[in-house]
Each structure stands twice: as structure tokens, then as C-alpha cells.
A and B are shown apart, each in its own frame.
Chain A
Amino acid sequence: MQVAAEKEILLVGNPNAGKTLLFNRLTGLHGKVGNYPGVTVECRRGQIDLKNHPRASLVDLPGTYSLCPRSDDEKLTIDSIEQVLQKHHGPRLVVVVVDATHLERNLYLVSQLLEAKVQFLIAMTMMDAARAEGILVHTEVLSERIGVAIVPVCALTNEGIPQLLDAIDECSTTLMGISISTSPEQVRKRYAQVEHWLDGAYQKPPVIETMTDRVDSVALHPVFGPILLLGIFAVMFNALFVWAKPIVETLDLIKGGATTFVLPLFSEGSLLGSLVTDGIIAGVGSVIAFVPLIAILFLFLGILEDSGYLARATFLLDRVMSRVGLPGRAFVPLLSGFACAVPAIMSTRVIESRRERLLTMMVTPLMSCSARLPVYGLLIAVVFSSAPPIWGLVEVGSVVMFAMYAIGIVVALLIAFLLKRFLLKGESPALILELPPYRLPRMSSLLRGVLLRVQVFLREAGTVILAMTIILWALFTFPRHNDLSPAEQMKASYAGRFGQLIEPVIAPLGFDWKIGVGLVASFAAREVLVSTLGVVYGLRQHGEDAPVPLQKAMAHDINPRTGKPVYTPLVALSLMVFFALAMQCMSTLAVVRKETKSLRWPVFQFGYMTVIAWLCSFTVFQAGTLLGF
């Protein structure tokens, strides 16, 4: 016997029509929105309370231009609709989200659904934007002609939302399949139908130059466009370094204060005291100090995503991308790789051909993600913070930061070129991309995005990094030799012995055994390098009255054999290059495995990235040493 299931409501529509914004408004959830086609690449579910269906579930689907899918995200949408229509036993409803500012193209999907004999409801979004452009839609006339109820809404102002909820409550879809065919002749007929619907029911003012056109005349200009693009990134990397510096230093001081505060609570020489101060505060605290960097990075990425500029950058860079064999639509996934490779790899679903999608997935983790930021931030602060600005203008640190991002990009392009040449051969596919109108990013949405990412970062610090820190503290503390000095004790510990064991492998890169331990541990998560060094230098200073901040302790560390600092600019560079290129992220490998449905590709990715990281690091250190740095 079937149990009566709850009502299921599907949001279907063109990419960037505002489905997720509407979904957020109706469910009170906070799905990620942005102003470019293809933000949503998964199905997201939320509950809405309707009068007659108090526990109905609303499903937000990836956008699609047509019922004949071309890419994996569109296929997911079509499959989900079919599955609900055929297998769901409760009431169900398809809500087609139609963008009032792009009616003709949006109604094409409507004409296909009508042809497939699916019953549905139309929610017409962006009514405010349409009014601002002087567009007039006679929804009653249109609704009568199409034979489908239309509810005009504006998700931002709540306009029409109560009416939409009532309509969703009352309507339902009864028919079974959505399979239809498409030929050029059918497409022409459907558009003729759409033109007939719109005739007289839709008025658009004569084309005038809009704000978007004016901005584009600069943003897409053959000379100014690329300059602007470079400028935006230069400002971003400079901000990462310059704006975050004072905040990071303040947090470091607070960390020192915390140690002085809690230390008297433990008896002298107690192991627990050492775990809390030298382990947890020094380790996890050092990572948390980099929260401002993460926040600034996500603020910038959020502005790029919400404004509509991302699609312009894709337009400008398409030539470069197609030269190395990457599809034009790889740009957005690659850019989101600066945030985190996991969602970036999922967003490659918008790429139509499987081969191109694989290619993009293989190089996406070479984009410097936010987990590398604490590593760069710490090493730059240790060796480059006292360097005078270049020409009195640019901080050396921001140039090094920029260089780390650049090396990731250059290697990614190179690898893509080689893969395309030898492993994933094939013709370069087309680029079909809609450029959305510019919109002013909303502060609330930007801040929510930043907050969300900071939360994720802190959660990681509180779980994986905390656990790794405690393990490493134990490995550095045991076995105990009470007669040795802290430095010698550490050398004789389990971690110390392990570090010295692997030293021959990493010595050619300029790393000592302490870095080696951190390097191996950071295969669990990249930030663990920072927490490991926090533990190392925390334990070393154990019992000292005024422990110095991690950066200073590292800067003053002297190699007993050479009598020179352990962290020279060259060692720091070599280490940063290793982190920029190595595959040290289990979550990324897991998502690549899931998306490629194979074990081969993640193994290949892990192998090639780690080998390249070692080779590049080796070259930097050896060449630098030869040149006398």
C-alpha cells in the first residue's frame, strides 16, 4: 500500500532566471545565488508550509534553456522532473520560473513544456527590473493565450509571493512524461508560437543604451577590458596582503594573551598545560588568526559573482582558454577554485562535453584555494614583512602573493595544454554563454556569503585541524625525556624521528625535518602546516614567560649547522611553491572520484600534482641556491 506522500514542487526555468532567489524567499533558506548562468548545479530541497499541504517540499533545480539537455547540470534537471512525474505518489507541481526581462527566450521552454503536455504554473520574476527598463507585460492577456496561470513576483521585495504560495497550494501537475524531440523546424515553430503569444501583450521601449551597455563598452573593450581585469585581480591580491595584515597581527597578540592567561591555571610542567597552550592555542590559534584573509577573499569573489562581471571575464579570456584547449565555460569553475576546489569541481557540470569537463576538473585544484592562504600569509609575514616596498609603492608581500596565484594558473594552463594534446584529445567545443545585465551586489547577500565561508573555515579549524594538532602535539611530546632541553626533546620525539627519516627526500627542496613533519601532516588539510609550526614553536618556548608570536619565533630560528636562519626567503618561496601545486586535499579527491565515477582520475590527479610540486620546488630552491640567494 502506498502512503500518501507530501506535495512536491519543482522550480524549473532558464539559467539565471532567479530560481534560487525565489527558492530562498519561499523556504527561508540561503541557497547560493549569483548573477551568472549556472550558479546552481545541484538539486536543493526545502520545506514550505501551505494551507492544504503543510509539509510540502520545494525543489530548486539547475537552470536549463531546453528540455533537450546538453550538459550534466541540465540533464540532472530533466531527470529530476521525469523522476518526480513518474515515481512520486503524492501531489506534484512544476513551477516554471520566467524572467520578465528576457521573455521571448524564457517562453521557449514554456512552449516545450506545453508540447509535452505537462501542466504547470508560471512565476514571472524580475518584475521590478522589467519596470525599470520600461517593459510592460500584460500578464492576464498572456496567461489567457498560453492557457496557464501566471503570477508576477519580485523575490527581493516580496511582491506577489503570497499570491504565488496560494497558487502553488491549489495547482498540481498530473501528466507523466516530458520527452520531446527537437529539430530546427520545431524550434522555429515554437518561437513563432511565442511571438504570437507576446504580440501586443508585451511592450518594450525602443532600444536605448542601458547602463549595462555603457559599462560593457569599457569592460569588454579590447584594450581597457583586459587592463581592468588585471587591475581587479591586482587590487584583490594587494588587499589580501595589506588590509589583512593589521588584523592578523592583532589576533596573534590575542593568542599570546590567551596563553599568558591560561598558563597559571596549570601546575608547572603539567602535560595538560602543555597540550592547551603549546598544542591547542598555539596550533589552532595560529590558523584562526588568518580568518580576516579568508573573509576578504570571499568578499571580493562575492562581488565578482553578484555583479555579473564573471561572464565578461569569460568573454575576455575565451581566446586564451581555447588556445590551451579549455572550454570557455571552464572560467567560472576555475575562478571558484580560488575559494575552494570542491564546489568548483561540482560547478564543472555546466561544461557540455565530458572530455572538456574532465580536463577542467584535472586542473581546477591548481587554482590557489583559500586553505593555502594561511600558509602563504604566514610565510610571507616571516620572511618578507621587513622588506622595503618596491619603488616605495608595492609591498613585496603582495607581489609574492600574486606570484603564488600566478604560478598555479600558469601550471594549470600548461597541464591543460598537455592533457589536451596527449590524453584527452578532441576538437575544442563551442562557447555558448549568456551575458547577464549588471546588477548592484546586495550587501546582505555578500555578508551572508562571507559569514558562511568563515563559519566553514572555523568549523574545519575546530575539527580536522584541532584533531591533527592534538595528534601532532602528542607525537612531538612523546616519548618524554625530562633531562633534555625542549629543542632536543622534540628532536627525539616520534615526530622528530619521523621528520629526520624523511629529511633526505625534502632536503633538496630546502626544508628541514620540522617543515617535513608539517608537510606530511598537511596532506590531511593544508592549514595543518600552520598549526604544526604553531605547535613546534609553541613547545620550543614552553615555560618561557613571554612567548613571542609564531612569525617572530620562526624568523629567529637559526639552523645550527649553517648558522643562518632556517626560513630564508628562498626556503619560504620553495615551500609556498610546493603548497601552490601539491594535491593536499582529501575532500577534493573524493569529489573528483564522485563526479568522474572512477578511481583512476583522482589517483592520476594526486600523482601528477604532487610530482610537479616536488619538481618545481626543487628547481626553485636549487636554482636560487646556485644564484646565491
Chain B
Amino acid sequence: MANRTNISELLVGQHGVLRAPAIVSSCILRLLEMGMTEGATIQLIRRGPMGGPLLVVVRGTRLCLRRREAACFPVKPLPS
């Protein structure tokens, strides 16, 4: 089960190690280029109000992305 976790399922404040996304759209590719590569550590900072976007920190950058894209990235949660 732990393997199926994606970014949007992390707890707020929790870190995780990114895995390679299963599908690669041009948008996913851009997220990879912005540092969300396999093996990088990601932290979920907060979820936007009313199903809004997620705020994450990856490689020292605060990044804002919608939940649909976040769900494409599997992640291995790290113990908080």
C-alpha cells in the first residue's frame, strides 16, 4: 500500500521521497524539470482551501501545483 501513496496524500508538513511518475505529459515533464525527479525529497506544506492547489517544497523551491498533477507523482512517505 505504501507504494501507492501520492503527494496529495502526504500529511501536511510530512516529507516523502519522490518516485518516477507512471505517465508523462508535457506538464509532468515540466514538473520534473523543476526538480521533482525520482529520489528528490518533497515536503507538503499546505493544501489550498476548498480543494485548491497544493504547496510543496522541493529542492529549496516553494512550488504550487493542482491536485490532479500531484496525484501523478508516487511518493514514499518518510516518518514525520
Query: Which A residues lie at the B interface, using CB under 8 A?
Result: 65-66, 68, 70, 101-105, 108, 182-184, 187-188, 191, 204, 212, 216, 220, 222, 225-226, 311, 314-316, 318-319, 322, 328, 352, 429-437
Contacts and interface: CB of A to CB of B under 8 A. Distances in A.
Contacts of B38: 188
Interface of B: 20-21, 24, 26-27, 29-35, 37-40, 45-46, 48-53, 55, 59-66, 68-69
B28 to A, nearest CB: 8
Given A108-B33, A322-B66, 16 more contacts: A105-B35, A108-B35, A184-B37, A188-B39, A191-B35, A191-B40, A216-B45, A315-B53, A318-B52, A319-B48, A328-B53, A431-B53, A432-B31, A432-B63, A433-B63, A433-B64
B37 A315 contact: no
B29 A184 contact: yes
Contacts of A220: 46, 48, 55
Given A104-B59, A105-B59, A431-B64, A187 B52 contact: no
- List of 8 A-B pairs having minimum Cβ-Cβ separation, nearest first: A319-B52, A435-B62, A222-B49, A430-B27, A104-B59, A433-B64, A187-B32, A66-B33
Contact of B66 (A105, A216, A430, A435): A430
B55 A318 contact: no
B74 to A, nearest CB: 13
Given A104-B35, A108-B33, A184-B32, A430 B65 contact: yes
A101 B61 CA distance: 9
19 contacts: A65-B33, A66-B33, A70-B30, A102-B60, A103-B60, A104-B35, A104-B59, A104-B60, A220-B48, A315-B53, A316-B49, A319-B49, A328-B66, A430-B27, A430-B69, A431-B66, A432-B27, A434-B61, A434-B62
A209 B62 CA distance: 13
Contact of A434 (B40, B52, B63, B69): B63
Nearest to A112: B33
A105 B29 CA distance: 14
A431 B50 contact: no
A225 B48 CA distance: 10
Contacts of B59: 102, 104-105
A470 B34 CA distance: 56
A184 B55 contact: no
A191 B49 contact: no
Contacts of A433: 63-65
Given A316-B48, A319-B50, A430-B69, A102 B32 contact: no
A68 B21 CA distance: 19
A314 B61 contact: no
B35 to A, nearest CB: 5
A182 B30 CA distance: 10
A358 B52 CA distance: 23
Nearest to B27: A430
B33 A226 contact: no
Contacts of A328: 53, 64, 66
A101 B60 CA distance: 8
Nearest to A189: B37
Nearest to A223: B49
> Which of B21, B33, B48, B65 has the most chain A CB within a 10 Å cutoff?
B33
Contacts of B27: 352, 429-430, 432
Contacts of A352: 27
Contacts of B21: 184
A172 to B, nearest CB: 28
A70 B31 CA distance: 11
A390 to B, nearest CB: 29
B64 A315 contact: yes
B32 to A, nearest CB: 5
Contacts of A212: 62
A356 to B, nearest CB: 12
A66 B48 contact: no
A101 B59 CA distance: 11
A104 B59 CA distance: 7
A588 B69 CA distance: 35
Given A104-B59, A322-B66, A432-B63, A316 B52 contact: yes
